[in-house]
Amino acid sequence: MVGDGRLHFSVLGSGSRGNSVLVTGGGTTLLVDAGLTLKETRARMASLGLAMDSVDAVLVTHEHSDHVSHAGVVARNLGVPAWIGAATLAASERHFNGTEETPELPTASFKVGALEVTPVQKPHDAADPVAFLVGLGDDTVGVFTDLGHVDDHVAAAIGRCSVLVMEANHDPGMLASGSYPWHVKRRVGGSRGHISNEDAARALARSVSPELRCLVLAHLSARNNHPELVRRAFVDHLGSRTPYQRWISYQDRATPLFDGRGDVVAGLGLESAPESADAKGG
Ligand SMILES: [Zn+2]
Ligand SMILES: [Zn+2]
């Protein structure tokens, strides 16, 4: 159970309309990004049996509004710090009113309560975008969305994770034939945009640790992707069975609450359960 000193996590929501990942352990609770409203974040945490008052800090990955737009509100309301890079804060000032605590994100590992946080620079079209590793004991959760491609630095960080939240943004065929204007297609599909299903699967086939217990695919494009295409790409590159669990996260609902081994500890009674469970193994 939560409170047993081990790491637990849930993707509260993921996609271009708002992202937030909850990581909790050793009495400390963090939100990686605050792209969901305060009310929605509270409701999704409640659906997992968690109180929003337990949040100790927000970590901001980059200034795109689907990640930062509610960070100021959450920080003010709960009276907690929002850790954010200087360039990221400068680029997202409209989401803060200056009364929040916004400590500058260190470049090396640091502690927030019981949890060790490591920012990892990543290729994405933002001022100073980072992924995060959050560790406690033997468990390390990595949150890697909004990733143009997996460079050596990111691959090494992925290799340290026992739990991985990884972007599988689009199907290249759907993106190419879809309705986005050409400059948006070029941005999304570019090396500093968002990673495709195939490229994510290929990168993971090369990079994941034998210790990986759970993979949650995230930031699926509503227009240029489909869970079935994600499953297919991952079966093609990683096989239908892996030594770790595979799940898909969604925009409109939280995943279950997982422990550091990838086992579900809460939230399987949610209406989202059948589809999430269906995603397991594929
Ligand atoms: Zn995003
Ligand atoms: Zn972004």
Q: Percentage of residues in the chain with pLDDT exceeding 90?
A: 88
Q: Is the dihedral of CA 249, 255, 260, 261 positive or negative?
A: negative
d(CA 68, CA 239): 35
CA of 260 to the centre of ligand 2 (A): 26
pLDDT tens-place string over residues 87-122 = 999 999 999 999 999 999 999 999 999 999 999 999
Residue 157: inside a domain: yes
- Going by C-alpha positions, the residue among 125, 143, 124, 148 that lies closest to residue 133 is 143
* Number of domains present in the structure of the chain: 1
Mean pLDDT value of segment 119-135: 98
pLDDT of the residue at 277:
36
Measured in angstroms, how far is the CA atom of residue 5 from the centroid of ligand 1? 31
Mean pLDDT of the chain: 92
Domain contains 235: yes
Which ligand approaches the C-alpha of residue 167 most closely?
Answer: 1
pLDDT digits (tens, 9 = 90+) for 269-282: 543 433 333 343 33
* Rounded-to-integer distance, Cα 146 and Cα 261, Å: 25
pLDDT score recorded for residue 2:
65
Residue 215 CA to ligand 1 center (angstroms) comes to 18
Query: Distance of alpha carbon 201 from its chain centroid, rounded?
Result: 16
One-character DSSP codes across 116-158: EEEEEE--SSSSS-EEEEEEETTEEEEEE-S-S---HHHHHHH
Residue 189 in domain: yes
Full residue range of the structural domain in which residue 137 is found: 8-279
Residue 15 CA: which ligand is closest? Answer: 1
> Which pLDDT band, with edges at 50, 70 and 90, does 4 fall under?
low
Global pTM reads 0.94
Nearest residue to 24 (alpha-carbon basis) of 38, 5, 40: 5
pLDDT of residue 269: 53
Residue 159, domain member (yes or no): yes
Q: Is the pLDDT score of 1 beyond 80?
A: no
User: Is residue 174 classed exposed, middle or buried when 0-12, 13-18 and 19+ CB atoms within 10 A define those classes?
Assistant: middle
Asked whether residue 15 is domain-assigned, the answer is: yes
Q: Does residue 3 lie within any of the structural domains?
A: no
Shortest CA distance to 124 belongs to which of 96, 162, 150? 150
Measure 8 CA to ligand 2 centroid, in angstroms.
25
181 pLDDT more than 60: yes
Q: Which ligand is nearest to the CA of 123?
A: 2
Q: What pLDDT score was predicted for residue 267?
A: 84
pLDDT value at 227 more than 90: yes
Residue 215 in domain: yes
CA of 211 to the centre of ligand 1 (A): 27
Kindly give the distance from the C-alpha atom of residue 120 to the centroid of ligand 2, in angstroms, as a whole number: 15
Q: Which of 86, 20, 3 is nearest to 57 (CA)?
A: 20
- The CATH number that applies at residue 144 is 3.60.15.10
| Band (5; pLDDT cuts 50, 70, 90) | confident
- Tell me the CA–centroid distance for residue 13 and ligand 1, in Å: 11
pLDDT band, very low/low/confident/very high, at 175 (cuts 50, 70, 90): very high
